[in-house]
Amino acid sequence: MLKGRKFVVLPNEETPRRRYMRTLIEKNGGDNGYEVGLVDDSFVSGGHVTKHKLFYAELNPKNVPLERLQLFKLSDLTKWLKYKYVDLSQPLQLHEEIVVDEEGDDSQESNNGSRQVIVEQKREAQNDVGKTEPNTIPNSSNPNSQLIKVLRQLEKRYKLQNDIFRSLGYQKAIKKLQTVQDKIETEDDALRNGLSAGLSRKVPMLLQLSAGRGSELNMDLKEQTQRYFQQCHGIGVFTSQQFVNMGYTSFQDLVPFMNWVQLTGLAFYEDWQLPIPREETKKHESVIRDAISEVSPELQMEITGSYRRGSRTSGDIDIVVHIPGQDDLDYVSAQLQKVIVKLVESGYIICPLNLNETLKEAFEPWFRQLFSHFDKRFDVKTYDEAVHKFYCGAAVDMMGEQEGEQEGESRHVIPFKSQDLRYKMSVGGGKVCRRVDFLISGYSGLGATKLYFTGNDDFNKKCRTVAKQRGFVLRNDGLYREGQLIPLGDEYEVLDMLGIERLEPEQRNI
């Protein structure tokens, strides 16, 4: 069943279990090569690769093109073989914590992973809209708006190329410039206002670009197409690069190859780019709380992210769900599943982005509609296991402005190309489909989970750096010391343990 696919076991094949997995791959028709990377489970947590310093140290061979691989847990292989279905719809992220140095704009991470300043890359950093941090000068009156515009173009280009470190370096510089009140015109101006030495040297050249047409920064046709594809949920850097290299230019070329998760992302391609006004998020919260009260009142929920920090708009809605005193995630999952089914029956939840067998039955009418819309054969395979996180699309009545200026920021929707307009699906009734993610937490790790998913990224960076200095490991599922979880159900208990000031969520926009 693995015939035609190439696999590499990571970080190496030097343990008996990993060698056995390689044998299983070969017995089932798989080849050795750089297409799918199977990462030992000891290096995986929360959907991403962890322990990067050790991972890179053990990597063999050293020249494995990690950025080109689709990464999955090594244990996924046994699941695929058991159910006779290879599910590549939800790959791991290579980095959830990215280690860069202070000169982030010029840096690239070395294989030993030895840098010290942690910068987190979260989906929220890409999706938060209309967020103005304290002391941020709105774009309309910022004296460095043209320089910021050029840096945004560079940041987008490097992000498109999967050059994470340069992309994050430019993000950091943009954030700094948004608080600078002096006009920066020289290298000395930039240094004096806190920009890195590497970027400061480039300021005269960047200002020249901003004064001209900036043609050197314009994306070529391939880059524009890659960005167009990447805006669809389920299509990342690796997959979009493959499609572009094969000569595809529109989604009508891709539909025959797309799985149900990607088709769902295509159906709501434009909807999921629109910002969600705060008042609308409150309405989502009310609908979900009513369903919880009706079918599983022991469940508790809290919307996190920029919404919890007081932002006027957000890109999606992240909800942390728990049961007081309960650490059995499968039990919490069973209760959440009842709520999900109720929300599907009420028409609130429109579509899923991950499933198990029970939820597949609840969503069968949606799948019939989806595959009919794309004129494809019904093809949805699932595993019979508890769902510890559930991603979906949901809709309530529209409220507030959907586009335009928001506190000095704007959200530009990448529209469908004319030949792809037919793939758009509408919820109807004046509603817009929104991304809603349910994240289950054990009670003992709830404090750390709330901290992480509330953010912001800089506050999380501070907390994790302090934790490391004090001999702890702070993750999105708990605070650990010497590998043992410290049971802390309150986020302020976590801050106390780390000796960090008790900041309210609205104060964490640092």
**Element of type H or E holding 72:** strand 70-73
Q: What is the pLDDT of residue 212?
A: 59
Position 403 pLDDT exceeds 50: no
Q: What is the pLDDT of residue 139?
A: 61
Q: In whole angstroms, give the CA distance from residue 287 to residue 303.
A: 13
Q: What is the pLDDT of residue 505?
A: 97
Q: What is the pLDDT of residue 404?
A: 39
The residue to which tokens 């510890």 are assigned: 388
Q: For residue range 254-293, what is the model confidence (pLDDT) as tens digits?
A: 999 999 999 999 999 999 999 999 999 999 999 999 999 9
Q: In whole angstroms, give the CA distance from residue 307 to residue 290.
A: 20
Dihedral in degrees, nearest 10, Cα atoms 246, 249, 250, 256: -10
Q: What share of the chain is helix, strand, coil (3-state, %, to 5)?
A: 45, 15, 40
pTM of the model: 0.74
Q: What is the pLDDT of residue 273?
A: 96
pLDDT band at 407 (very low <50, low <70, confident <90, very high): very low
The residue to which tokens 């990993």 are assigned: 18
Q: Give the mean model confidence (pLDDT) for residues 430-445.
A: 97
Position 233 pLDDT exceeds 70: yes
Q: Residues with catalytic annotation?
A: 202
pLDDT band at 216 (very low <50, low <70, confident <90, very high): low
Q: In whole angstroms, give the CA distance from residue 159 to residue 169.
A: 11
- Spell out the residues 6+ positions from residue 339 whose beta carbon is closer than 8 angstroms to its own: 288, 291, 292, 295, 296, 299
Q: What is the pLDDT of residue 128?
A: 40
Q: In whole angstroms, give the CA distance from residue 500 to residue 492.
A: 9
Position 467 pLDDT exceeds 60: yes
Average pLDDT, the chain: 86
Position 138 pLDDT exceeds 70: no
Q: What is the pLDDT of residue 453?
A: 96
Which of 24-28, 64-68, 181-185 has the least mean pLDDT? 64-68
Q: Give the mean model confidence (pLDDT) for residues 307-316.
A: 96
E strand map for 274-325: 276-277, 300-303, 313-314, 317-322
Q: In whole angstroms, give the CA distance from residue 124 to residue 456.
A: 9
**Pairing verdict, β 31-32 and 6-10:** parallel
CB atoms within 10 A of CB 63: 9
Q: For residue range 85-119, what is the model confidence (pLDDT) as tens digits?
A: 888 878 888 864 333 333 334 333 333 333 333 33
Which of 8-17, 107-116, 183-192, 367-376 has the least mean pLDDT? 107-116
Locate 82 and state its tokens. Answer: 């058991």
Q: In whole angstroms, give the CA distance from residue 260 to residue 391.
A: 14
Percentage of the chain beyond pLDDT 90 is 56
Q: What is the pLDDT of residue 121?
A: 40
More confident: 47 or 193: 193
Cα 409-412-413 angle, rounded to 5 deg: 145
pLDDT band at 241 (very low <50, low <70, confident <90, very high): confident
Which of 57-61, 110-114, 309-313 has the least mean pLDDT? 110-114
Instruction: Please state, in angstroms and as integers, the Cα–Cα distance from residue 148 to each residue in 131, 138, 153, following that order.
Output: 16, 12, 9
**Element of type H or E holding 435:** strand 434-440
